[in-house]
Amino acid sequence: MLLNKFKQCGTLLVGLVWIPEERTDELLGVQILTEGGSRVEMQISARIPDKELVTPTYNKSTEFSDPNQLIVDTYGIPAYKEANPAVFTGVTFPFLFGVMFGDLLSGSLLLGTMVCIFALGKKTVGATVWGVRWMFLLMGIFAVFCGWIYNDFTSLPIYTFKSCYTYYPDTAAPTAHPGCVYPAGVDPAWFLSTSELTYANSLKMKISVIFGVAQMTIGIILKGTNTIYFRRWVDFFFEFLPQILTLWCLFGYMDYLIIVKWLTDWGNQTWGAPSVISIMIDMFLSGGVPSSPAELPILSTAEV
C-alpha cells in the first residue's frame, strides 16, 4: 500500500520517507516482496536537510514510557527536537493520582492487583493490561504512600505512632502533650474532633495547590528551554518570562503563605491564624492592605 504512493521512474520507485538516524542501517539492503512476486531492494540515495521540510516528531519509548507518551500525545505532540513532557509524566501523573486517591485500603488493593499481574505474565492478562502495568504499579505505590500520610484507611485512622493528645471522658477538649510532634502523617486525634472534615479538606487542598504550582512551573520551564534552544527570543521575553513571573508572584507567594502558616505557632497570637484566601483577595481588591488585623505580619516584642 505504501509503495503505491511512490513515484515510478522506469524500474525505480522513488519516495520521500523519514527515518530515525540510528535506524538508517536497518533499512539499507532490506528487500520488499511486491504483489507481482518481484523483490524490491531499499536504498537511500539522498538526504534532505531538516530546514527544507517540516520534520515529524520522533520520541523514543520503552515499556515504561509508552503509556505516558500516549497521554501526552493525546493533548498535543511536541514539535521536532522540543522537550518531551512524557519524561516527567512518568512520575508526576502517578504521584498526583496518589495525592487525589490517598487511601491505604484502596491503594493496597491496586498495588496487590498489579503484583498479581506481574506474576501472571503477558499471555495471561493480555497485551493491553500488560502495557500499562508500570504506570498502575506506581499509582498503587503512591496511593499507599499518600494514604499513610493522610492516615486514612477507608476514612478510619491508623494509630501508627502514639498520639500527641489524650482524651478524658469529663473534658470536651483533648489534652496536648507538651513538645510532642506526630512523626508522620495526620495525628489520629483529629478523627475524634468535630472539625475533622474541615481540617482534612483544608490540608488536602493546600497540598494540592503546592504540587499543582510545582507541576505548572515544570511545564513553563520546559517551554522556556524550548524557546532558548530554538532561539525564539520574542517568545522567551514576552511569553515565557511573563508567565513564570506571574505564576511565582501570585501562586508561588500563595505557597509561601501556606508553608509559613503551617510552620508558625498561632496559639499565642491574639487574632489567631490568618486566612490565606483573604490575603490573596486583598492583593487585588485593596492593593495588598489587609482587611483584618489577623492578616497583619506578626511582630516580636522588641519590634513592638
The pLDDT assigned to 147 comes to 92
Is the confidence at residue 137, as pLDDT, over 90?
yes
Instruction: List, in order, residues 6 or more apart from 149 with CB less than 8 Å away.
Output: 102, 184, 185, 186
% residues pLDDT > 90 (the chain): 38
Half-sphere exposure of 260 (CA within 13 A, CB side): 13
Is the confidence at residue 298, as pLDDT, over 60?
no
Residue with the bigger pLDDT between 80 and 289: it is: 80
pLDDT in tens, 160-199: 888 888 877 666 677 888 888 888 888 988 888 888 888 8
Dist CA 141 CA 133 (whole Å)? 12
Pairing status of strand 165-166 against strand 12-14: unpaired
The pLDDT assigned to 303 comes to 38
* Of 76-85, 155-164, 276-285, highest mean pLDDT: 76-85
